[in-house]
């Protein structure tokens, strides 16, 4: 019993000693390294530094061992990463080819334009009709020409080639709601004329055309602008007329009196008009030769 009393007294003394000492001097020994570290009192600055911040929990990816995403590794947003990756299209060999400098909206807009019906723009102008009427006087023909031109542009000047290369203008007259002005001459397009105003324009000209001397004949040659409707009415100072015209040209002829005949041609297109007197033995016969293309 004396040893038991002695053990109880020693244990009670050690307990009292531990209660009297401050908590800063109580040490907890680490089980892994064998070193000891002081246990800090709650509420002290040292205790606050040792505790982790409960308001900022550790990343679950790091705790679970999940690797960071590409956006986290590069520090760039995911949308920017996707934009830099671009678009790809499958080639004939099955391989994917990149489309540089293009985004999805641009590709969709291109496909929409390809699928839309393609409309052909209307021309700036069109020569609707050309009408010629006149007679032969000695070595030249005097013709009254009426040209109807359709302009499709509203507020800009449009230059129209009238051809008529072999003629000389004796008189001009314009009818229309817009404006017109001469535009010069060149060997390819002949006479040029400017028109302004959307709609129909009418140009009336008096032409003088020299007859070509090709013995034993004389010919009238004139280049016309391309048009769907064209006709010629010509009075010749001879009572008898023989005609030779190309296929597709409608012809009519009649005698006016003992000294004159009249011929009419329809559908001249942009041809040469070539009548003339042919044989010196038959001075009263005027054949009409085939037009030559311009």
| Residue found under tokens 């004796």 | 170
Domain interval for residue 216: 125-289
Q: Give the pLDDT mean for 66-92.
A: 57
Q: What is the pLDDT of residues 145-187, one digit of tens each?
A: 999 999 999 989 999 999 999 999 999 999 998 999 999 999 9
pLDDT-derived band at 27 (thresholds 50, 70, 90) equals very low
* The predicted structure's pLDDT at residue 106: 82
Q: Are 141 and 134 in contact (CB under 8 A)?
A: yes
148, part of any domain: yes
Q: Give the pLDDT mean for 239-250.
A: 75
**pLDDT > 60? residue 248:** yes
Helix (H) or strand (E) holding 191: strand 190-196
149, part of any domain: yes
* The predicted structure's pLDDT at residue 287: 42
82, part of any domain: no
Please tell me the total number of residues recorded for the chain in this structure.
Answer: 294
Cross-strand partners of 181: 194
Q: Give CA–CA dist 132/275, Å, rounded.
A: 14
95, part of any domain: no
Q: Are 245 and 252 in contact (CB under 8 A)?
A: no
Q: Give CA–CA dist 263/240, Å, rounded.
A: 11
59, part of any domain: no
Q: Give CA–CA dist 150/125, Å, rounded.
A: 6
265, part of any domain: yes
Higher per-residue pLDDT: 155 or 40: 155
Q: Report residue 87 as tokens.
A: 């678009």
**pLDDT > 90? residue 116:** no
223, part of any domain: yes
Q: How many domains, the chain?
A: 1
179, part of any domain: yes
Domain at 143, CATH number: 2.60.40
């Amino acid at each position: 019993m004396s040893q038991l009393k002695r053990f109880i007294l020693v244990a009670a003394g050690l307990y009292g000693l531990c209660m009297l000492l401050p908590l800063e001097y109580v040490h907890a020994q680490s089980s892994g390294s064998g070193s000891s570290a002081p246990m800090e009192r709650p509420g002290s600055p040292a205790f606050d530094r040792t505790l982790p911040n409960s308001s900022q929990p550790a990343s679950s990816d790091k705790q679970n061992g999940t690797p960071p995403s590409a956006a986290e590794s590069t520090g760039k947003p995911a949308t920017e990463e996707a934009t830099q990756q671009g678009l790809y299209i499958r080639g004939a060999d099955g391989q994917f080819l990149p489309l540089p400098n293009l985004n999805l909206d641009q590709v969709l807009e291109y496909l929409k334009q390809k699928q839309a019906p393609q409309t052909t723009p209307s021309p700036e102008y069109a020569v609707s009709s050309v009408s010629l009427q006149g007679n032969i006087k000695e070595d030249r023909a005097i013709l009254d020409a009426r040209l109807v031109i359709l302009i499709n542009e509203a507020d800009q000047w449009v230059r129209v080639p009238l051809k008529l290369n072999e003629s000389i203008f004796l008189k001009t007259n314009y009818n229309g709601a817009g404006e017109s002005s001469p535009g010069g001459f060149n060997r390819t397009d002949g006479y040029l004329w400017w028109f302004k105003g959307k709609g129909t324009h009418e140009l009336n000209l008096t032409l003088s055309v020299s007859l070509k001397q090709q013995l034993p004949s004389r010919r009238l040659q004139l280049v016309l602008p391309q048009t769907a409707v064209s006709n010629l009415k010509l009075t010749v100072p001879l009572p008898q007329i023989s005609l030779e015209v190309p296929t597709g040209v409608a012809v009519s002829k009649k005698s006016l009196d003992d000294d004159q005949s009249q011929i009419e041609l329809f559908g001249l297109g942009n041809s040469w008009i070539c009548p003339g007197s042919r044989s010196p033995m038959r001075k009263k016969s005027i054949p009409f030769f085939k037009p030559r293309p311009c």
